[in-house]
Amino acid sequence: MLKKNSKKRGLNIIIVGCGKVGTTIVEQLIKEGHDITIIDKSPEKIQELTNLHDIMGLVGNGASHSVQMEAGIENAHLFIAVTDSDELNLLCCTVATQVGNCAAIARVRTPDYSQEAEYLRNKLGLAMIINPELEAAKEAARILYLPTALEVNSFAHNQAELVKFRVPVGNLMDGLTIAQLGQKLSCKFLICAIERNKEVFIPSGSFLIASGDIVSITSSAKEIKSFFEAIGFKTNSVKDTMIIGGGNVAYYLASQLLRRGIAVKIIERSKARCEELTTLLPKAIIINGDGTEQDLLIEEGIEYADSFVPLTGIDEENIVMTLYANKVSNAKVITKINRIDFRDVIGSLNLGSVVYPKNLVAEKIIAYVRAKKDSMDRNIETLYHMFDSRAEAIEFRITEASKVTGVPLKDLALKNNLLVSFINRKGKIIIPSGQDCIQPGDTVMIVTTHLGFSDIMDILK
């Protein structure tokens, strides 16, 4: 075993699989202060990660009992399997839960298994089954249902939404304070974060909104369209979409869009995969061809497409196709990016909405880990990193009375740069005023530039 500093900090976590997802999870959990042991069959990958981070590494088969024992499974709090094989991930987790007394999380990407995720999770005793491709498709679909948004994230079991958008020149919001905007609009919403010139603000009512600002608002799912209509944005879902690449993300996204009555055209290089998709998605138009060819895109109507989503496995192809779509059409574009190394450069390009599947997985795992670190109860429901991880939106479940319950928000000694963005009480979304109180049984969303909250008590000074 390759071993770095053995000083104990947080939870003991074993991660099997050092591909892109595994590496992203390692990087995020290191920031959270946990003790990480990685397992992979590739000595090069193990050497690379152990050289970069203060972690332990073991070359071997993560499903092997002896390998897991050497990795310290008996003292592990959490076991995460994210190899390229669904079957291996499930086997690794099954062995881990039998040998150790730890929670286990498996990455499962195959559609057949994903449809049985709840059954597998229960039967195998897993804490979570996670599918990066399905999560990416869900995020892309939410954006296409509200195409004026840059990002749409769901909370409170889809009862509340956090939506990010850019303020256009001459918009109603331009030149108003947040308080003035609230007086003009009758719908209930809360502006919870604003990015201006790469600086993130948690704004007060006196904050003056300007064109070019990137604004995140929260509201109930029922009221979000009313807000956008009131500020002059189109709120209609896209009518059709052109998808480049026919992998699992494309399949998951097309399935969701077709159920909503949105026309789907998929362009895929592999003839065999086209035949599979024709059977799986009989209502979609499947084209066998190279979606990176300009003539084919013109022939298939990119100039008139309502939305355009390149989903190849190559980031550079996705970026170039998005830039081309922006040049020749007015389509809503979504760009899938796997690598996150060049986010500053990517952020400077006009790529529309950008979806990072690896980050979606890391966020779900971090939410679980933070809750597990402080309590056996899972008190973090949802976590999203905002503005390139410079702010966080965290939904806490309030399980019992404490210093934050039963007290009007205006009387709580809350930390600076923090907003209580909504209270979910038995399915009713409350956009809170200073008079509202948090109660046991609620879930509460906090947006803050403080990073690493793991308990609702962290909001107090």
The CATH code for residues 240-355 is 3.40.50.720
pLDDT of residue 376: 44
**Considering the domain 12-130, what is its CATH architecture?**
3-Layer(aba) Sandwich (3.40)
pLDDT of residue 342: 66
What string of DSSP letters covers 67-120? HHHHHTGGG-SEEEE--S-HHHHHHHHHHHHHHSS-EEEEE---HHHHTTHHHH
Of 64, 94, 217, 241, the C-alpha closest to 150 is 217
pLDDT of residue 200: 95
Looking at CATH, the fold of the domain delimited by 363-459 is given as Alpha-Beta Plaits (3.30.70)
Would you kindly state where each structural domain of the chain is located, as residue ranges? Answer: 12-130, 147-230, 240-355, 363-459
* 95, two tokens: 């062995």
| Matching fold, domains 12-130 and 147-230 | no
Query: Can you give the C-alpha Rg of the chain in angstroms?
Result: 23
pLDDT of residue 117: 84
Q: Beta strands 214-220 and 160-166: pairing type?
A: antiparallel
pLDDT of residue 2: 56
How far apart CA 241 and CA 121 sit, in angstroms, is 33
pLDDT of residue 96: 96
pLDDT of residue 393: 94
pLDDT of residue 382: 86
Q: Is 147-230 a domain of CATH 3.40.50.300?
A: no
Q: Give tens-digit pLDDT for 423-432.
A: 999 999 999 9
Burial class of 461 by CB neighbour count within 10 A (0 to 12, 13 to 18, 19+): exposed
How far apart CA 337 and CA 340 sit, in angstroms, is 7
**For the chain (length 461 residues), average pLDDT per consecutive 10?**
54 94 90 93 95 95 96 95 95 94 92 83 90 93 93 91 94 95 94 94 95 96 92 92 97 97 97 97 97 95 97 93 95 88 70 87 84 63 86 93 95 95 95 95 96 90 90
Render the burial of 404-428: b for 16+ CB within 10 Å, e for the rest: bbeeebeebebbeebbbbbbbbeee
